Structures are given as C-alpha cells and as structure tokens.
Amino acid sequence: MANKPNIPKGTRDFGPVEMAKRNYIFDTIKSVYALYGFQQIETPAMETLHTLMGKYGEEGDQLLFKVLNSGDYLKKISDDELAERNTLKLQTKLCEKGLRYDLTVPFARYVVMHRDELQLPFKRYQIQPVWRADRPQKGRYREFYQCDADVVGSDSLLNEVELMEIVDTVFTKFGVRVQIKINNRKILTGIAEVMGEKDKIVDITVAIDKLDKIGLDNVNEELRNDGIPEEAIEKLQPIIKLEGTNDEKLDVISKVLNESAIGLKGVEETRFILNELKKVGLNNEIQLDLTLARGLNYYTGAIFEVKALDTPMGSITGGGRYDNLTGIFGMPGLSGVGISFGADRIYDVLNALDLYPKETITGTQLLFINFGEKETEYCLPVVNQARKAGIRTEMFPDSCKMKKQMNYANAKNIPFVALAGENEINAGKFTLKDMTTGEQCLISAEELINRLKS
C-alpha cells in the first residue's frame, strides 16, 4: 500500500474558502498601500547566500533555508572533508543560494541593482512568501507571507508617521483592535552606554526583546550568561519596568540618557513621531515600549511592533528604520524605513475573531441546474448575460439527478439556483430558488439578473 502524501511541517495547504479569506487580506493591504503612493515589485524566492548571510544576526543565519547546488554537488568535496563533518565548512561549498528569510534584505539588494532606474524617494510594497527553518508552533510557520512597505532615499521622520497611519488604517478596515508599540534603537544604544556596556548592545537588545516571552528573571539570567555585570543589569531594571504615558516615559528616559548623545537623539526622534501622530489621530493606541528591541541587526532608528488585543497571538506587524542596510551592498548613505504585515498571523486573528465580511468569502452566487441538452441550450445565453452583469455564475456540467446538483449547491453555499424545465421554457422564464429561505418564484431572465445584482 502506497504511503499517503504529506507536506513539510510548518507549511499549509489552502482551499478555496481559505484563499478567499487570504485574498481579502492581501487586497485590503494592497488598497491601503496604493492610497499612500506605494508601488508593487517582486523578487526571486532564492537569493545568493552572499546576499542573505550576516544580515539577520547569528540566530537569523541559522534559520536560513540553504539550497543545495544543482548537479553533482559533492564533486568538489573530498572524502576527508566529508569525514570531518564540519557543517559550516561544507555548507559554503555545497550551497550558494538560500530561500529568502524576509523581504527587506532582498529589497535592499534590488535597490542597489536598480538604482539608476528608481525615482527617489522610492516607495515600494511587496507581497510574497518567505521561509524560516524555525520550530513550527501556533502562529509560527516555516513558510509564510509578508506584506511589506518600504521607503528608501529619505531621512524624513514623516515616513515613520505615514507607516503608522498605514498600520492603523489597515487594522481599522479589518475591524481588529491592536496596540502599536514603538521604540528606537538609538535609545537602546544609549541605554547600553549608560550601563557601561556599549559593546554588548546586541546581546542586551536580543535579551530584552524576549521579555514578553520568557519574563524578567530569565532576561536577567540571559544577560548574566552574556557576561553583563550585575551592576549594569541593576541599572537596566528601572528602564525595563518604566510605566506611565508616552510623554512621561520620554521625560524620564531623557533624564536617564542625559549624557548619551545618541540616546537623546533617539528620544527626540520618538517624540517627533508620537507628536505628529497625535495631530493625525489614530484609531488604535500607540505605546512607547522600551523593552521592544526587535533583534534584527539592521534596524538603526525607530522600531515598531503590533499586537492584537482581543486574541492571543505574537507580533502581527513589525518594522523600523535601517539607515545602513544598502551600505552592505556597496551603496552607503541611503536611508530606509519599512513595515511588514504578517499575513498568516492576521489570517489566524481574523479567523479567531470571525471578522471576515460574508461577501468576501462568498464564491458562486448562482447555479443553473442541468436537465439535459435542450434545457442547457436555453440556459447558456442567460448564464453568459449573468456573468457579464458581474454575477458569479455556474452551469452544472452534467445532466444528472437534481438531488446531486442541489447537494452541490449546498456544499458550495451557493445562495441561488435557477431551474428551467419544459414549463419554464414554454413560458420563456426561469424558476429561481433562494437556497437560504427555500422560496421560489417564476421570473424572466432580465428580472433574475436584476434581482441577483441587487
């Protein structure tokens, strides 16, 4: 007996209903991006490892899916190298490509390669799948879609303000209450300076970014394991526990960082963004969270994260400014800022809260029953008219028992069924059945189409 087929852990199939829901998500996000002047691009699923490695920190590098070289990939590997089993050394010879980990680094590569074609500032959006060799769990997949928007070629903080407006608009359209968290990597760098551990900035930010997941005690233990002295850890505690309004937090942290120029610059940038958003008036709360670190190495300024308030889920949107990213590819000085909607997590949130509008997941609206060749010839012109009128319409392909055809309509949740037998044909009309109420009426083709359109 043949083994049943399966799919890799952390990946999913999506049927018609799921795809209708996902397209609702993608179309909503696309429509908001377009409102703000963003243009769509796409990049390959695979990038060279030279492009990907070293851009996501040590943890990120380990989560990259590497692609074996095509052909005889062992040809250049000696028996001694195989026996040595040095994974990192073998990897450099066996793999030249990897599946993209996110959309931001490929976008930076795209900007460098196509610089002469771009009008700066360049506002792009990109909706494509990414892959991470992560441990699958609820809300975390190995293959998932990101819906990114980025602006490059502008240092203005108005870009950050605009991106937060986009976040607020998208989740307002979805009907999802969210909390938008904001911080600044310059503030975190200032905190590391005040702690006297400037060289440990990456270790500190990676640790405190896990506060929500592992708790304060475990964060402190991780800091100790990274070689952070107890005195420095003590200085960090009141900052991590800081409470109050956004303005109150900024006032306190500006005093703490009064001897750190870069820290004060981060406070200034954050205050500007928050003040401008007050003038705009968001529907959702925006909160300064000094524990928000986002471990990716490339963020240099403002950082953002969004969480749903009414259902447990991890971050469903994130992003920030990455001034130095294109410098890695030979184009220094080009500033960028972006956000990424986690479409798969948003999908789960909308499912959990039952927030999909009914019309977005309705497929076929009208089914014509097939009684035979003569009846089909009578129905087909009206099927065509209905489609031209924008009504999603099917003609059942086979002349079979009516019960089977009605079961098909019920299984697909088709709300209306049209029947044309000998009596209807003689009268030049159709019987239209409402599958929800069971009501039937005898109407003309024109009346049928007008009723379905309304």
- Residue 73 above 70 pLDDT? no
pLDDT at position 84, please? 67
Q: What percent of the chain has pLDDT over 90?
A: 60
Sequence ranges of the domains in the chain: 16-43+101-353, 362-453
- Residue 139 has what pLDDT? 66
Mean pLDDT of 424-453: 96
Edge-to-edge strand list for the sheet holding 366-368: 393-395, 366-368, 416-419, 430-434, 440-443
Q: What is the DSSP string of 353-414?
A: HT---GGGS----EEE----HHHHHHHHHHHHHHHHTT--EEE-SS---HHHHHHHHHHTT-
pLDDT score for 1: 55
Average pLDDT over residues 113-133: 94
Dump pLDDT digits (tens) for 141-200. 899 999 999 999 999 999 999 999 999 999 999 999 999 999 999 998 898 888 877 777
93 pLDDT more than 70: no
- Per-residue pLDDT averaged across 405-429, rounded? 95
Taking domain 16-43+101-353, whether its CATH number is 3.30.300.30 is answered by no
pLDDT, the chain, mean: 89
**Over 80: is that where the pLDDT of 4 sits?**
yes
Residues 6+ apart with CB under 8 A from 218: 210
- pLDDT for 296 equals 55
Give the pLDDT of residue 324. 73
The pair of structure tokens assigned to 142 is 């190995």
Residue 242 — very low, low, confident or very high, per pLDDT cuts 50/70/90? confident
Query: Which amino acid is it at 439?
Result: E
- Tell me the helices (H) and strands (E) count for the chain, helix number first: 18, 16
Rg of the Cα trace of the chain?
28
Strands 39-40 and 440-443: unpaired
pTM over 0.75: yes
Q: How confident is the model at residue 374 (pLDDT cuts 50, 70, 90)?
A: very high
Give the span between the Cα atoms of 335 and 159, in whole angstroms.
11
CATH top-level class for 362-453?
alpha beta
Which of 134-138, 314-318, 442-446 has the least mean pLDDT?
134-138
Taking residues 440-449, what's their average pLDDT? 96
Which residues contribute to the annotated binding site? Answer: 102-104, 132, 146, 150, 294, 298-299
User: Binding site for L-histidine, residues?
Assistant: 102-104, 132, 146, 150, 294, 298-299
For residue 287, what pLDDT is reported?
95
